[in-house]
Structure 1
Amino acid sequence: MDNHSKPLGSGADPRHIPEGNRQSNVERFSGYENTYDQYRPEAPEQVINILTGYLQQKPSLVVDLGCGTGLSSFVWKDEAERIIGIEPNDDMRGKAEEKLQEQDNTEHISFAAGYFNQIGLEASSVDIITCSQSFHWMEPASTLKEAARILRPEGIFAVYDCDWPPSLHWPIEQSYHELIEFSEIIIDRHIEEGRKAHKWNKNEHLKHIRESGLFRFAKEIVFHHMEPCTAERYVGLAISQGGVQTLLRLGIQELNPAIDAFRKQVEEYFHGETREVMFSYRMRLGIK
């Protein structure tokens, strides 16, 4: 195993899932790492600016929990002395490692198999922990306890999520919501309860941080980021959602007509053009 990929603690053992983690949450992301990486946004520069501003220095170590394909890890390449992305899903982490091998000057970046409440790093060793589009898949209490253990005093735990869909045109956004809701209805009909992934409520992230008693300061920050977007990418963002991918992976075709209708609607609106689209983010952070 090379220096870019090494397990951290017992959480990296696929035969043992620490209490508080769900195998169904890990498996939800299997098999669509390429689609995810192609259409999902990289972490915007505001994340770097906000967190380094609070830290008041270049971080020595950033840990990206639930890093997926590295979209939220590589942005720290020139902004931190060391970056570790932790991801329990082999397919997602494999894509991140593949991208790592394609880049130069990445000796200070690594990806590791691990679970969020058993990270395995030394106590008080981390400056910043980020969870990009991932904290709602983690059991909050045990994750926050482990985060506080490895953060140094005045270190930062930051959760940030993108509002779906990006702001564009209300009929399209409404169709997007209806498509995602329909995918979850179909999942409820076809997948037994014990095999479903479980999400914690994103609107309670700040509450969990505050009520943990582990952080001296906590707040929510809202910001926006404009990105160029084509019809293909906007449709791809919808298709990259976990519920849609679950149905595609299982070969359940009930959603396909709705996907086709959504694609046609988006293509008619974009009319072959590239448009600037607003991605809106909500960051909840705690200072240890």
Structure 2
Amino acid sequence: MKEQIRTNNVERFTGFGALYDQNRPQAPEEVTRILTTYLGKKPKTVLDVGCGTGLSTFLWQQKAENIIGIEPSNDMREVALQNWKAQQKPKNIQFIEGFSHDLGVANDSVDIITCSQSFHWMEPQSTLREFARVLRTGGIFAAYDCDWPPAFNWEIEERYKQLIKLSDNRVAQLSSSEQQAHKWDKEKHLAEIQNSGLFRFSKEIVFHHWDPCDATRYTNIALSQGALQTAIKLGADDLLEAVEKFREQVEDTFAGQTLDILFSYRLRLAIK
């Protein structure tokens, strides 16, 4: 059953790596600043687990000596590799295939592990045991997630949520439970860390980041949500009409302007 869940979770992200990469927010600099402050020094080795297209991996390029992005999805990892080549193949960054419960990294060899909008796709306790194994004493694990939708306009945000709810319902209707991806509750991340007994300190930190956005990007942020993409792949053609209506509403609201929207993050930090 665990193997089937892992397979379903990986397949959920097949086919829209480029859309994801072009529209999702890059991890903000606050992440490196917070974690380096708690570590008390420049990290030698950082693992970015469930790194996707590398949006959260390249952030460390000037901040750590060695960075490894670990991603099980071939589609997502291929986009990360294309980005790596476009940046002249930085020697301190590499991308490899792997799962959170089996990192293939030596014991006590890592300073920081991050999961950017990915920990909820991982079985928490087997993942935390593996993270504790590879972290050095004093090493840090941080899972951080963005609240959806980004803050901008209450009517558009409400329609965004309705679109994703409709997508979730269509996925449930068009696939069996055995075929569906499984998400662990983000609200329980901190409790999972504390209940593991593997870390001597943990807390949640909330921070925010403004980012410029136009109507196309805001619409595509919604389109990059896994539930919507999965529903479309399953044949929910009626969803396309709802997407087009949402696109029109967003375009009317932005009125041709590029505006700042607010991304809010919740970071759960743990120290070994």
Letter in 1 for 2:118: S
- The question of 1:177 aligning with 2:154 is answered no
TM-score by length of 1: 0.92
Deviations 1:128-154 (A, max 9, x none): 000000000000000000000000001
Q: Corresponding residue for 1:63?
A: 47
**SS across alignment from 2:181:** coil
Q: CA RMSD in A?
A: 1.3
Tell me how many residue pairs correspond in the alignment: 272
Q: Distance in 1 between matches of 2:202 and 2:3?
A: 26
> 1:78-132 CA deviation, whole Å, 9 max, x = no partner?
0000000000000100110111111136111000100110001000000000000
Indicate the residue corresponding to 1:156 in structure 2: 140
Aligned to 1:78: 62
* Percent identity of equivalent pairs: 54
Please give the alpha-carbon distance, in whole angstroms, between the structure 2 residues aligned to 1:206 and 1:196: 25
- Letter paired with 2:257: E
The one of 45, 62, 71 equivalent to 1:87 is 71
Looking at structure 1, the residues matched to 256 and 268 of structure 2 have their Cα atoms a distance apart, in angstroms, of: 37
Structure 2 residue corresponding to 1:29, chosen from 3, 10, 13: 13
Match of 1:218 in 2: 202
Query: Offset of 1:42 from its aligned partner?
Result: 0.6
User: Structure 1 residue 257: deviation in Å?
Assistant: 1.4
The CA deviation at 1:248 is: 2.5
Q: Does 1:267 align with 2:223?
A: no
Contact 1:84 1:112 in 2 (8 A): yes
TM-score (structure 2 length as normaliser): 0.98
**Structure 1 residues 142-151 or 241-250, which shifts more?**
241-250
Q: Secondary structure at the match of 2:75?
A: helix
CA distance in 1, matches of 2:228, 2:18: 15
Which residue of structure 2 aligns with residue 116 of structure 1? 100
Q: Quick one: distance in 2 between partners of 1:18 and 1:67?
A: 21
The residue aligned with 1:145 is 129
- Structure 1, gaps ≥5 residues long: 1-16
2:71–2:95 Cα contact (<8 Å) kept: yes
Equivalent in the alignment of 1:39? 23
Q: Distance in 1 between matches of 2:36 and 2:21?
A: 25
Consecutive unaligned residues of structure 2, counting only runs of 5 or more, are none
Contact 2:9–2:181 (8 Å) recurs in 1: yes
Of residues 241-250 and 119-128 in structure 1, the stretch that sits farther from structure 2 once superposed is 241-250
1:198 aligns with 2:210: no
The Cα shift of 1:247 comes to 2.2
The amino acid across from 2:268 in the alignment is: R
Where 2:238 maps in the other structure, the secondary structure is coil
Residue 100 (structure 1) aligned with residue 100 (structure 2): no
After TM superposition, give the deviation of residue 252 of structure 1 in Å. 2.5
**Are residues 21 and 243 of structure 1, via their aligned partners in 2, closer, same or farther at CA, if it must alter by over 3 Å?**
closer
Deviation beyond 3 Å, 4+ runs, structure 1? 17-21
Contact kept, 8 Å, 2:174 with 2:234, in 1: the verdict is no
Tell me what 1:7 maps to: none
| Matching of residue 241 in structure 1 with residue 229 in structure 2 | no
The change in CA–CA distance for 1:21 and 1:247 in structure 2 (over 3 A counts) is closer
User: Residue 3 of structure 1 aligns with which residue?
Assistant: none
Give, in angstroms, the shift of residue 21 of structure 1. Answer: 5.3
CA–CA distance in 2 between the matches of 1:184 and 1:18? 22
What SS class does the counterpart of residue 262 from structure 2 fall into? strand
Q: Contact 1:216–1:286 at 8 Å: present in 2 too? A: yes
Contact 2:168 2:231 in 1 (8 A): no
Cα distance in 1 between the residues matched to 2:110 and 2:5? 22
* Cα distance in structure 1, aligned partners of 2:86 and 2:138: 35
1:236 aligns to what SS in structure 2?
helix
Matched letter for residue 33 of structure 2: N
CA distance in 2, matches of 1:69, 1:22: 18
